[in-house]
Structure 1
Amino acid sequence: MNDFAAQLPHTIDTLAEQGWVVLDDFLTEQEVAALLAEGQGRQAAGEFHQARVGRAEGRSVRTAVRGDNVRWLDPAQRSAASQCYWQRMEALQAELNRSLFLGIQSGEFHFAHYPVATFYKRHLDRFRDDDARVISVVCYLNDDWQTSHGGQLRLWLDENDSLDIDPRGGRLVLFLSDRFWHEVLPAQRERWSLTGWLRRSSGIPSSS
């Protein structure tokens, strides 16, 4: 039984205080397994594409910058496996708007698959001329992940101080999209997540 609703007040308070929060057991082992199976099935069916960097006409595949493959979720066609994720994201959005008045109106999320030894170099999620992305969201789908496997999310708290977060299954990471530079370190095994943003209506939607 997931008690995300009970953890929401503390999650919001921590996010408001420091700009980021890590929440373990956001998804149960069974929910993680179901979502991972869905992602792997969609990958086998050829539904993933190489992730790109930049925006609009300037988007391009640059494997020297990022090496993941992605498949976007459609909120209008929710699978049985993803329903629990969508419901908790909607509860999170509602509480963020009620408590912090962020004006979030939607969420956009994708499966992200990193083959062995791939990475995503240091970057910021919000574009300079587009303030739509408010909260960056990462939920990990990896079973029995060990620190020695690598693949950490390196969150830069300031120019000289960083925090490495293991991509353990069921773990949720939230941080302010306009504030925290971050990167994905290479891993010794395949790395899976659901990644995306809680967004305002302003700005120009983009996929990356």
Structure 2
Amino acid sequence: MNSSEKLSLAIDQLSDAGYFIWDDFIPNEDVKELVSIADEASNTGDFKKAGIGKQALFQLDKSIRGDYIQWLDRNNENAVVLKLLDEIERLKTRLNETCYLGLRDFETHFAIYPENTFYKRHVDRFQQNAHRVISFVLYLNRNWQEGDGGELAIYLDGKTEVIQPLAGRLLLFRSELEHEVLMSYKKRYSITGWMLDKDMSLTFLP
């Protein structure tokens, strides 16, 4: 299945099921490079403990969320990161053209979950700042095996879909859907982000 066919399927499934799994969104060599970049940044202290909420409601609570993050943008000079940002921009544009979602921008960051961490059930679309429309997670976990944990559970009308965090897999889902990152029993890598209906510089406004 080529990328155009994958996109058509993504559009249908986002509309019908609320989520879409796109395997091999990036090649293995890019996964390896992105993990190396994340490890280097983590070792030099560029990752920060992730919190919950925005603005005045922001708080750190390891009983709810255990990951560490580093925001990504075009100030990053690494060619693989810039290529990925271009791919996400193209995907956003195509989704916008075909689904009329009013998407104008996206925000994204590396996320590392240390061993025995998780992110409890939540939604990505903040009540006080409801500009996130489509959430995405690109998994970077090479050689992931059953029992490593770190799956993402999406809750859909009384049923639960559990997504394995396989390297190169892109998960797209509607930002209002409840979901959680299950306990990760080994270090878990991803790039997580949101497609927005306002320019990113404006999403911090009430």
Task: Give the TM-score normalised by structure 1.
Answer: 0.92
User: What letter corresponds to residue 133 of structure 1 in structure 2?
Assistant: R
Percentage of pairs with the same residue: 36
For residue 160 of structure 2, what is the aligned residue in structure 1?
Answer: 162
What does 1:177-192 correspond to in 2, within 5 Å?
177-178=175-176, 180-192=177-189
Q: Give the conservation status (yes or no) of the 8 Å contact 2:74–2:82.
A: no
2:160 is the alignment partner of 1:198: no
Q: Number of matched residues?
A: 203
What does 1:1-208 correspond to in 2, within 5 Å?
3-158=2-157, 160-178=158-176, 180-201=177-198, 205-206=203-204
Q: CA 1:87–1:3 in structure 2 vs 1: closer, same or farther (change >3 Å)?
A: farther
User: What letter corresponds to residue 170 of structure 1 in structure 2?
Assistant: G
Which consecutive unaligned segments of at least 5 residues does structure 2 have?
none
| 1:97 Cα deviation after fit | 1.0
| 1:117 Cα deviation after fit | 0.5
Q: CA 1:114–1:106 in structure 2 vs 1: closer, same or farther (change >3 Å)?
A: same
Task: Give the TM-score normalised by structure 2.
Answer: 0.93
Q: Give the conservation status (yes or no) of the 8 Å contact 1:15–1:21.
A: yes
Q: Give the conservation status (yes or no) of the 8 Å contact 1:51–1:68.
A: yes
Deviations 1:41-89 (A, max 9, x none): 1111110000011210221110000000000002343521212211211
User: What letter corresponds to residue 191 of structure 1 in structure 2?
Assistant: R
Question: Does the residue aligned with 1:71 lie in a helix, a strand or coil?
Answer: strand
User: What letter corresponds to residue 107 of structure 2 in structure 1?
Assistant: E
User: What letter corresponds to residue 64 of structure 2 in structure 1?
Assistant: V
| 1:3 Cα deviation after fit | 4.9
Question: Does the residue aligned with 2:154 lie in a helix, a strand or coil?
Answer: strand
| 1:16 Cα deviation after fit | 2.0
Deviations 1:104-157 (A, max 9, x none): 111100000000010000001101132210000100001010122111101111
| 1:103 Cα deviation after fit | 1.0
CA RMSD for the aligned pairs? 1.7
